Amino acid sequence: MAPTGLEEPKTTEASNDTKSYADGWISERKGTDIPLFLKFAYIVIACGGFAYFLIFMNGEVNHSTRGALVRQFNAVTQSSPALMYFVAALIAIFAIITVTFAFRKRHED
């Protein structure tokens, strides 16, 4: 009989050196570290998010067609630069904690 794709996948018992999360969707070997490319991806994503927030924290004011509308909206609503810089500081703190956690020596559970 040809496989239809509806059969249950064959499962094997997890050995003692693997740990499963999310009902088996994610598994890892005990003692392995975060891959190096992923550690640097944390840095790139965190810096990108921080830069994006700082560049566009008041909207896209220099856009050719809607920039004037954004500037008018900003003038009417009176956004708070202090609040925006506080949010930027929170983003920076979160990025530092995430990168520090990724590069720290791994501990065993």
Q: Burial code of 48-62, b = ≥16 C-beta within 10 A, e = fewer?
A: eebeeeeeeeeeeee
Q: Give the Cα separation of 25 and 85 in Å (integer).
A: 39
pTM above 0.85, yes or no: no
Q: Does residue 107 register a pLDDT over 80?
A: no
Mean pLDDT for the chain overall:
80
Q: And the tokens for 52?
A: 């994006």
pLDDT of 48: 92
Q: Give the Cα separation of 17 and 54 in Å (integer).
A: 44
Q: Does residue 16 register a pLDDT over 80?
A: no
